[in-house]
C-alpha cells in the first residue's frame, strides 16, 4: 500500500519493545487515514536533553550514516516523534543528501519549508487532536468552546493542541514536561510557552518564574489532579493509569482525547468507558500528523508545494473519513485494547474485555508482518470473539 511511515524517537527510555508497540500502533493509525502508507517506527536511546546544537547535529549525522541504507522515498519514510522535531529532521536530511548525492526529498517528512517540507505539518498533530475532540463533542451535543482543558506535555503535539483549543474558545489551565507541571488559572500564555520550549529549550518551570499568575509543581503525576472538563494527554505512553483516571472522573471530566500514543493504560481506558467518559482513541485522534506527512510525500513526488489552504482542505477530507471510521470502530474494534505483555512482541488482544477470536488474532499477526491489515476493518462485532 505504500512505504513504511512513522516517527523517530530519541529518548533514554527507548528500547526495542517500545519501538515495536509504537510501530504496531502506527499500522492501525495509518490504515485509518486511508492514505497510501504502511506503518513503521524507529529511534534511539540517545538523550538530547542538555546537548548543544552541535552535539545533536553530530548524533543525527552518525544515526543517518547507518539508517540511510534502510530508508528511501519508496521504502521507509521517517518523521519526528519525542525528541525529534524540525531541527533534527534538518540534520538527518542533510546527512542523507550528502551520502546519496540525490534530491530524494520524500525520504523524510517534517522538513523545513525551504527544502520540501509541507505547510501545516508542524501544527497537524496538535490541531488534528482538537478537531477530532470537537467532532466527538459535537456528536454529544457539546463543544470545546468555553470548556476548561488540561493538556499534558509541552512539545510539538501539546503546543499546537493548546493553540487550536484556545482558538476554538477553550481555556487551557495546565501543561507539563517530564520534570513538573504548571497551572495558570488565567489560561496558558502560549507564546510564552513557545519562547521557553521552542526557542530557549528550557524547562516548563521557567513559565512560573516569568508569569506571576502561574504555579509550578514538581513531578508530572499531579497534573491529573487539576480540575478540567476535558483532558488531553500529549506527552507519552501510560501517563494516565487507573488511579489518575479515577481522579479525573471524580473531578467531573467528561471527555478525554488521546494526543500521545497510548497515553491511557488499558485499565484507565476501561474505567473511562465504564464511567461514560467520551474517549477519543489515539489511533484516530492523533492521526493528523502522519496524514499530513503523507501529504508532504505527495508534494515531494509531484515536485510541487501546496498552499496552506490546499493542504488543509485535503486534510479536512481525511478528517471526515477518520471520524466516520472511528464511529464504525466504536461499534466494532474501538474498545479493543492491546495489552502489552513483558518485553517482547507478544500482544494479548482484547475486545470489550474478552480475548479476540483466534481468526482475527491470526489476521492481525499476519498484518503485523506485512501490509495486508486492511482486512480487519471488514469484521463485524460478533466475529471478533470466539
Q: How far is the CB of 109 from ligand 2IT (least distance, A)?
A: 5
Query: Which option in ligand NDP, ligand 2IT, none does residue 109 bind, with CB closer than 5 to 8 A by kind?
Result: ligand 2IT
289 makes contact with ligand 2IT (CB under 6 A): yes
From candidates 147, 220, 300, 326, binder to ligand NDP by CB under 6 A: 220
Other C-beta atoms lying within 10 Å of the C-beta of residue 300: 23
What do you get for the CA distance between the two ends of the chain, in Å? Answer: 30
Closest by CA position to 149, among listed 140, 135, 134: 134
Question: Closest approach of Cβ 239 to ligand NDP, in Å?
Answer: 6
- Choice among 29, 41, 111, 283 that is catalytic: 41
Residue 44: how many CA atoms within 13 Å on its side-chain side?
16
- Quote the least distance from Cβ 296 to ligand 2IT, whole Å: 8
C-beta of 147: minimal distance to ligand 2IT in Å? 25
3-state secondary structure of 38: strand
- Which x/- pattern over 57-86 shows residues binding ligand 2IT (rule: CB under 6 A)? ----------------------x-x-----
* Binding to ligand NDP, residues 7-66 (CB under 6 A): 7
Cell numbers 482558538 label which residue?
167
Whether 163 is a known active-site residue: answer: no
Beta bridge partners of 348: 339
Q: Looking at the DSSP assignment, which residues form a beta bridge with residue 188?
A: none
Choose between 26 and 148: whose C-beta lies nearer to ligand 2IT. Answer: 26
Minimum CB distance to ligand NDP, residue 46 (Å) = 13
In this chain, which residue has its C-beta nearest to ligand 2IT? 7
5 binds ligand 2IT (CB under 6 A): yes
137, 144 in Cβ contact below 8 A?
A: yes
Distance (Å, whole) CA 234 – CA 256: 11
Identify residues 26-55 at the interface with ligand 2IT (CB under 6 A).
Answer: 29
Compose the 112-141 pattern: x for residues touching ligand NDP by CB under 6 A, - for all others. Answer: -------------x----------------
- Give residue for cell 467528561: 254
Binding mask 84-113 for ligand NDP (x = CB under 6 A): -x----------------------------
Tell me the window of 5-13, 214-222, 357-365, 373-381 that interacts with ligand 2IT (CB under 6 A): 5-13
| Subset of residues 238 to 267 that bind ligand 2IT, contact rule: CB under 6 A | 261
Helices 16-33, 358-369: inter-axial angle, 10-degree rounding: 100
- Cα 40 to chain centroid, rounded: 14
Q: What is the CA radius of gyration of the chain?
A: 20
Nearer CB in complex with ligand 2IT: 165/234 = 234
CB of 213 closer than 8 Å to CB of 185: yes
Query: What one-character-per-residue DSSP string does 132-192 give?
Result: HHHHHHHHTT--STT-EEEE---SHHHHHHHHHHHHTT-EEEEEE-SSEEEEETT---HHH
Contacts 24+ apart (CB under 8 A), 63-69: 63/92, 64/91, 64/92, 64/95, 64/96, 64/99, 65/95, 65/99, 67/42, 67/92, 68/95, 68/96, 68/99, 68/100
The residue within the footprint of ligand NDP, chosen from 42, 116, 117, 289 (CB under 6 A), is 289
Q: Judged by CB under 6 A, which of 3, 40, 42, 80 binds ligand NDP?
A: 80
CB of 101 to ligand 2IT, least distance (A): 25
Q: Which residues bind ligand 2IT (CB under 6 A)?
A: 5-7, 29, 79, 81, 109, 261, 289-290, 293
Residues with active-site annotation: 41
Amino acid at each position: 500500500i505504500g512505504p513504511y511511515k512513522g516517527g523517530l524517537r530519541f529518548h533514554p527510555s527507548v528500547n526495542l519493545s517500545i519501538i515495536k508497540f509504537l510501530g504496531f500502533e502506527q499500522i492501525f493509525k495509518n490504515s485509518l487515514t486511508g492514505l497510501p502508507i504502511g506503518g513503521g517506527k524507529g529511534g534511539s536511546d540517545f538523550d538530547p536533553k542538555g546537548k548543544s546544537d552541535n552535539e545533536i547535529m553530530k548524533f543525527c549525522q552518525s544515526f543517518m550514516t547507518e539508517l540511510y541504507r534502510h530508508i528511501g522515498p519508496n521504502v521507509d519514510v521517517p518523521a519526528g516523534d519525542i525528541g525529534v522535531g524540525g531541527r533534527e529532521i534538518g540534520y538527518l536530511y542533510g546527512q542523507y543528501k550528502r551520502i546519496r548525492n540525490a534530491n530524494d526529498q520524500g525520504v523524510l517528512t517534517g522538513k523545513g519549508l525551504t527544502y520540501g517540507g509541507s505547510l501545516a505539518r508542524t501544527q497537524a498533530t496538535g490541531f488534528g487532536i482538537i478537531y477530532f475532540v470537537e467532532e466527538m463533542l459535537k456528536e454529544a451535543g457539546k463543544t470545546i468552546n468555553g470548556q476548561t482543558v488540561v493538556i499534558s506535555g509541552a512539545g510539538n503535539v501539546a503546543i499546537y493542541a493548546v493553540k487550536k483549543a484556545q482558538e476554538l474558545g477553550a481555556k487551557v489551565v495546565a501543561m507539563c514536561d517530564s520534570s513538573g507541571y504548571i497551572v495558570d488559572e488565567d489560561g496558558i500564555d502560549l507564546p510564552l510557552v513557545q519562547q521557553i520550549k521552542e526557542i530557549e529549550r528550557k524547562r516548563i518551570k521557567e513559565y512560573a518564574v516569568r508569569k506571576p499568575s502561574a504555579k509550578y509543581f514538581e513531578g508530572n503525576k499531579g497534573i491529573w489532579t487539576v480540575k478540567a472538563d476535558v483532558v488531553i494527554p500529549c506527552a507519552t505512553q501510560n501517563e494516565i493509569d487507573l488511579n489518575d483516571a479515577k481522579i479525573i472522573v471524580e473531578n467531573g471530566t467528561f471527555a478525554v482525547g488521546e494526543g500521545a500514543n497510548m497515553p491511557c493504560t488499558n485499565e484507565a481506558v476501561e474505567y473511562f468507558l465504564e464511567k461514560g467518559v467520551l474517549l477519543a482513541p489515539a489511533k484516530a485522534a492523533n492521526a493528523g500528523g502522519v496524514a499530513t506527512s503523507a501529504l508532504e510525500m505527495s508534494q515531494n513526488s509531484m515536485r510541487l508545494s501546496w498552499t496552506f489552504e490546499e493542504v488543509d482542505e485535503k486534510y479536512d477530507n481525511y478528517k471526515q473519513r477518520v471520524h466516520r471510521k472511528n464511529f464504525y470502530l466504536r461499534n466494532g474494534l474501538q474498545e479493543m485494547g492491546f495489552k502489552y505483555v513483558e518485553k517482547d512482541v507478544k500482544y494479548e488482544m482484547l475486545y470489550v474485555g474478552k480475548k479476540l477470536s483466534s481468526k482475527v488474532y491470526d489476521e492481525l499477526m499476519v498484518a503485523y508482518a506485512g501490509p495486508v491489515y486492511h482486512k480487519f476493518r471488514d469484521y463485524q462485532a460478533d466475529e471478533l470473539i470466539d
